[in-house]
């Protein structure tokens, strides 16, 4: 984002505004190839949204005394500078911005712009977020209600708008006590689960939720050739892949560039958004192809899927005992590898059959060891479903989380191999097959 901002400001003050285009930014800032299709790869639009949020946060906090303001209006990338105008009794800019701009389209555009299904997810997420904010007991909830009223009055200056704001304020005052009551009544399993989610979701750093790239899986299945992370990040897998003798090669390569993900991943993401521990302004849903290495160095992340569907998992496999071992087009068995089997354990938990599948849950440090990464995936859709169901069930996770708890209340790294029946690509009741606590 820093490079993005430097680029557009440099071009603007150098009177080279014709170079401030999505295509040029994609090539010169994000390293995309010349002539890449920005309709299929929306990395510029995704980062522009986050950049606008960060700029708003800066001028509302550290830069509150700045006399010169900077903004990048929606619909373009050309920066605008203006002089801050003092106001009597100002309302905090960031909170008003949050109250006015927390719309469903932003989430849908930022993640899966080409998918109608994800637009529905975004709408549902907005409704859940609204319900969640009503239940939250803290000063921000009360301030948010007041600021929505203030924003409505500023926009419309009408009595109905004022009434809407008052209704919101009354609603907050009625439902605010629910959250502390939930905490008091929480079971020991829910308390243990809270310890995990407070590590993953933090107000100090962004948490990136990264669903699987199912278009990539389909392409690898048809070409029978794996796509390593380096090729995935550079995008060369869509142009330089060896497809000699493969019927419909060009269409297959296009398929690898489509933005597909599974309903299981979307359902998991929707459940995550409802957790009490989520910090909404710090939760980022990022398509795998749009993730950056720095996101995994400095932020927290939840990587969904197998290494075949989410190549970023490749970065963390060396520190795992349970590793995805996928070999498309090879006689070598695929499955989840048990690198150091103990007595009675198998070396590999195999290729999913008609009636059984496997999933993986791994909690490890991020690349800089300043945050945490949660890997949740399976050998197929049913395997991922088994892993996500197990993770979201406090009673199932409680034994592992208690064993992983440290003296200062944090959590050690842990890995779980999950098994489940596979009924028509749906997982039955998941169960833990193997467990590892502590760094590998």
pLDDT reading at 305 higher than 70: yes
CA terminus-to-terminus distance, the chain: 34
Question: According to the per-residue pLDDT averaged within each range, which of 40-44, 161-165, 173-177, 326-330 is highest?
Answer: 40-44
Tens of pLDDT, residues 412-438? 999 999 998 877 667 778 999 999 998
pLDDT at residue 92 in the model: 47
Q: Name the one residue in this structure whose structure tokens are 């505004």.
A: 17
Model confidence at 260, pLDDT cuts 50, 70, 90, reads: confident
Q: Please report the pLDDT score of residue 289 as a whole number.
A: 86
pTM: 0.62
Ramachandran category for residue 344: left, alpha or beta (phi over 0 → left; psi -120 to 50 → alpha): left
Cα separation, 383 vs 377, whole angstroms: 7
Residue 58, pLDDT score: 87
| pLDDT tens-digit readout, 218-244 | 777 777 677 888 888 887 776 665 555
User: Which residues contact residue 41 at a Cβ distance below 8 angstroms, ignoring those fewer than 6 apart?
Assistant: 26, 32, 235, 257, 289, 290
Tens digits of per-residue pLDDT, 70-84? 888 888 899 888 888
- 3-class DSSP string for 54-71: HHHHHHHCCCCCCCEEEE
**Residues paired with 422 in a beta bridge:** 427
Phi and psi of 284, rounded to 5°? -120, 125
Predicted pLDDT of residue 234: 80
pLDDT at 168 over 70: no
Instruction: Identify the burial level of 327 via C-beta atoms within 10 angstroms of its C-beta, where 0-12 means exposed, 13-18 middle and 19 or more buried.
Output: middle
Give the pLDDT of residue 240: 60
Strand boundaries in 182-237, DSSP class E: 207-210
The share of the chain scoring above pLDDT 70, in percent, equals 70
Higher pLDDT, 213 or 350: 213
What is the per-residue pLDDT for 15? 85
Among residues 237, 158, 212, 264, which one has the least CA distance to residue 375?
A: 212
Mean pLDDT, the chain, whole residue set? 76
Most confident of 13-17, 29-33, 132-136, 210-214: 210-214
Say how far apart CA 47 and CA 7 lie, in whole Å. Answer: 13
How sure is the predictor about 179, in pLDDT bands with cuts at 50, 70 and 90? low
Given pLDDT bands bounded at 50, 70 and 90, which one contains residue 96?
very low
Give the per-residue pLDDT at 312: 94
Helix (H, G, I), strand (E, B) or coil at 408: coil
- Asked if 413 contacts 373 with a C-beta cutoff of 8 angstroms, the reply is no
pLDDT band of residue 98 (cuts 50, 70, 90) is very low
Of 162-166, 218-222, 408-412, which has the strongest mean pLDDT?
408-412
């Amino acid at each position: 984002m820093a490079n993005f901002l430097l680029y557009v400001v440099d071009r603007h003050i150098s009177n080279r505004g014709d170079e401030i285009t999505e295509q040029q930014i994609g090539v010169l800032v994000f390293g995309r190839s010349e002539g890449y299709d920005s309709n299929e790869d929306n990395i510029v639009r995704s980062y522009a949204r986050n950049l606008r949020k960060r700029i708003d946060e800066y001028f509302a906090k550290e830069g509150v005394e700045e006399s010169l303001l900077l903004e990048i209006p929606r619909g373009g990338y050309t920066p605008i500078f203006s002089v801050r105008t003092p106001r009597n009794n100002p309302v905090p800019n960031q909170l008003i911005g949050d109250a006015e701009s927390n719309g469903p389209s932003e989430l849908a555009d930022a993640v899966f712009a080409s998918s109608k299904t994800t637009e529905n997810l975004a709408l549902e997420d907005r409704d859940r977020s609204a319900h969640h904010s009503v239940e939250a007991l803290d000063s921000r909830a009360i301030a948010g209600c007041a600021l929505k009223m203030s924003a409505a009055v500023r926009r419309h200056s009408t009595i109905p708008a004022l009434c809407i704001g008052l209704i919101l304020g009354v609603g907050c005052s009625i439902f605010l006590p629910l959250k502390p009551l939930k905490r008091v009544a929480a079971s020991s399993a829910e308390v243990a689960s809270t310890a995990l989610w407070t590590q993953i979701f933090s107000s100090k750093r962004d948490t990136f939720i990264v669903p699987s790239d199912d278009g990539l899986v389909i392409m690898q299945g048809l070409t029978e050739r794996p796509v390593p992370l380096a090729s995935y990040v550079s995008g060369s897998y869509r142009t330089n892949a060896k497809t000699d003798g493969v019927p419909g090669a060009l269409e297959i390569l296009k398929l690898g560039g489509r933005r597909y993900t599974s309903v299981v991943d979307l359902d998991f993401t929707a459940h995550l958004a409802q957790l009490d521990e989520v910090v909404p302004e710090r939760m980022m849903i990022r398509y795998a192809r749009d993730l950056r290495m720095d996101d995994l160095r400095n932020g927290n992340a939840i990587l969904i899927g197998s290494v075949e569907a989410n190549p970023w998992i490749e970065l963390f496999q060396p520190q795992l005992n349970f590793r995805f071992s996928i070999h498309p087009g090879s006689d070598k068995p695929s499955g989840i590898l048990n690198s150091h089997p103990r007595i009675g354990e198998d070396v590999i938990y195999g290729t999913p059959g008609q009636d059984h599948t496997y999933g993986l849950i791994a909690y490890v440090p991020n690349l800089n060891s300043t945050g945490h990464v949660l890997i949740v995936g399976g050998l197929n859709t049913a395997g991922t479903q088994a892993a996500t169901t197990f993770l979201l069930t406090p009673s199932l996770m409680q034994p592992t989380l208690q064993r992983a708890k440290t003296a200062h209340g944090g959590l050690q790294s842990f890995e779980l191999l999950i098994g489940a029946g596979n009924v028509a690509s749906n997982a039955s009741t998941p169960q833990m097959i193997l467990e590892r606590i502590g760094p590998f």
